[in-house]
Amino acid sequence: MDVRIPAMSRRQLFGAAAAVVVLLLLLVRQLGGGGAGAGPVVTPVRAPARARPAAAKLLVVDVAGAVRRPGLYRLRAGSRIDDAIAAAGGPKAKAQLDTVNLAAPVADGEQVVVPGSGAGGVAAASPPAAGSSPSAPLDLNSATLEQLENLPGIGPVTAQKILDYRQQHGAFHSVDELQGVPGIGPAHMAQLKGLVIP
């Protein structure tokens, strides 16, 4: 049996070959292109989310003594005594800054006391030795808890009441104002005569 294939022109052969190549390319692409010539599979990578900066920690510091605006102040962590005094409006004219370490870091809950000179230029007393009386009058407006505790008849509880009274009512203007402190009566006032100044 004699089967004859119709003769095709060159143009028809070239068109058929091109169609076969295009079909093969589409088939390879559809199947994922997993051949030797395929490039690496690229997966997009997300940029890491930026962490929000933590809020700066604030310290609460009590600034007292010879400053313009004694009271509680919130300062950034890492602040110094000098920053606490500046927050309180700066030192008063009678402030004795040479007795304060301005470079010391402040701690949360700390009380910064700036001593000042008393009436007649008498300097505020430094803490006396235990059991002794102060040699110079103690300035009630800059005295620390430890200094007040060393006064005759004043223990830790009464000393804290004096500081609380000073915090609530402001600076003492006379020694007689001590009578407004709970627990201080005429007997205490007689013991403190000449040992404290406003």
Domains and their CATH numbers in the chain: 56-116 (3.10.20.600), 117-198 (1.10.150.320)
Contacts of 38 (CB under 8 A, 6+ apart): 32
Pairwise CA distance, residues 73 & 182, whole Å: 26
* pLDDT for 31 beyond 80: no
pLDDT of residue 192: 80
In 3D space, the residue among 187, 132, 188 whose CA is nearest the CA of residue 161 turns out to be: 188
Q: Give the pLDDT band (50/70/90) at residue 34.
A: low
Average pLDDT (21-27) is 85
Output 132 or 52, whichever has higher pLDDT: 52
* pLDDT for 85 beyond 90: yes
In 3D space, the residue among 88, 143, 136 whose CA is nearest the CA of residue 115 turns out to be: 143
State the greatest distance between any 2 C-alpha atoms of the chain, in Å, as a whole number: 146
Report field, pTM of the whole predicted structure over 0.75: no
- Exposure string over 149-187, b if 16+ CB within 10 A, otherwise e: bbbeebeeebbebbbebbeeeebbeebebbeebeebeee
Q: Are 124 and 118 in contact (CB under 8 A)?
A: yes
Q: Are 67 and 92 in contact (CB under 8 A)?
A: yes
pLDDT of residue 38: 53
* pLDDT for 48 beyond 80: no
Q: Give the pLDDT band (50/70/90) at residue 171.
A: confident
* pLDDT for 45 beyond 60: yes
Mean pLDDT of the chain: 78
pLDDT of residue 172: 84
Q: Are 67 and 84 in contact (CB under 8 A)?
A: no
pLDDT tens digits for 158-170? 889 888 888 888 8
Q: Record the tokens describing residue 139, joined without a space.
A: 């300035």
pLDDT tens digits for 116-139? 875 433 344 344 443 444 446 788
Q: Give the pLDDT band (50/70/90) at residue 83.
A: very high
